[in-house]
């Protein structure tokens, strides 16, 4: 569901050549979210994740444009809104809207959504050279995860769903084991940033909810044993 909503938005946004048109699209979304706080809080999980996905990709797209412009000496003159260096009006606004979305949900609800987006964004082959946009997307996504992780201690303990977060992290590790990281990978620094951030999340969860982490580890061990027995039975 979330892909069905986010992908057309992302596709339309990236096809807009004029900076003013892209800014207008982001501003329109911001106005819609500002009109009614109750609607923002009541967003379904699918819509919530789709909006996060779109805004993070919009941010990454602008960062790619800015980085390419910084490498070009003969590009067109930029307006103040279009910015220079590593920020412009769109990157600032998208960050503000992402913060608004993250603040509208429980921390662990956001962590689950962000880890699902991260897993979808990770390439199947870690040896490929990622685009600037892809690298920026995963980095800003991880910064969102880091921000929430640092604030987890302020959440009511009974509202921290450590088990759910760890399940999503496990899916990520199964698809991309850390052992796949090698020094010759072209985007090693980006992947290292991701896995170090995930370690910080697990460390924080151990600190604030050791019982739920222990419960998850027992579940994961039991699931692995069951899968191993099933494989043996299939080859018998």
- The domain segmentation of the chain, as residue ranges, is 1-105, 106-227
Q: Cα–Cα distances in Å, from 98 out to 36, 51, 103, 133?
A: 16, 8, 9, 17
User: 107-121 and 132-151 are packed helices; what angle lies between their axes, rounded to 10 degrees?
Assistant: 160
How many angstroms separate the CA atoms of 219 and 210, rounded? 14
Return the pLDDT at 79: 55
Return the pLDDT at 55: 97
Return the pLDDT at 34: 87
Return the pLDDT at 87: 78
Burial annotation 130-139 (CB, 10 A radius, 16+ → b, else e): beebbbbbbb
Rounded to a whole number of angstroms, the distance between the first and last alpha carbons of the chain is 40
pTM assigned to the model: 0.87
Return the pLDDT at 77: 47
Return the pLDDT at 1: 43
How many angstroms separate the CA atoms of 34 and 27, rounded? 10
How many angstroms separate the CA atoms of 3 and 225, rounded? 33
How does DSSP classify residue 158?
G
Return the pLDDT at 160: 85
Return the pLDDT at 138: 97
Regions of the chain with pLDDT less than 50? 1-2, 76-77, 236
HSE toward the beta carbon, residue 156, CA cutoff 13 A:
3
1-22: pLDDT as tens digits:
445 689 999 999 999 999 999 9
How many angstroms separate the CA atoms of 183 and 185, rounded? 6
Written as six digits, the tokens of 220 are: 């994961």
Q: What angle is formed at CA 94 by the lines to CA 92 and CA 97, rounded to 5 degrees?
A: 110
Return the pLDDT at 61: 96
Return the pLDDT at 147: 95
Return the pLDDT at 25: 97
Cβ atoms < 10 Å from Cβ of 101: 19
110-156: pLDDT as tens digits:
999 999 999 999 999 999 999 999 999 999 999 999 999 999 888 88
């Amino acid at each position: 569901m979330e892909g069905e909503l986010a992908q057309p938005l992302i596709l339309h946004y990236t096809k807009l050549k004029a900076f003013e048109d892209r800014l207008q699209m982001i501003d329109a979304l911001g106005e819609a979210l500002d009109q009614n706080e109750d609607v923002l809080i009541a967003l379904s999980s699918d819509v919530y994740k789709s909006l996060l996905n779109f805004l993070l990709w919009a941010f990454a797209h602008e960062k790619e444009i800015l980085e390419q412009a910084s490498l070009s000496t003969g590009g067109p003159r930029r307006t103040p809104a279009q910015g220079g260096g590593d920020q412009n009006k769109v990157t600032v606004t998208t960050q503000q809207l992402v913060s608004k979305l993250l603040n509208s949900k429980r921390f662990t609800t956001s962590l689950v959504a962000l880890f699902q987006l991260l897993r979808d964004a990770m390439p199947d082959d870690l040896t490929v050279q990622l685009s600037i946009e892809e690298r920026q997307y995963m980095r800003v996504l991880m910064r969102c995860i880091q921000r929430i992780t640092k604030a987890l201690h302020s959440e009511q303990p009974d509202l921290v769903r450590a088990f759910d977060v760890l399940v999503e992290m496990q899916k990520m590790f199964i698809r991309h084991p850390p052992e796949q990281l090698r020094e010759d990978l072209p985007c090693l620094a980006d992947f290292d940033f991701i896995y170090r951030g995930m370690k910080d999340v697990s460390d924080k969860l151990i600190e604030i909810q050791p019982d739920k982490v222990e419960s998850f580890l027992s579940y994961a061990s039991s699931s692995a044993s069951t899968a191993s027995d099933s494989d043996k039975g299939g080859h018998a």
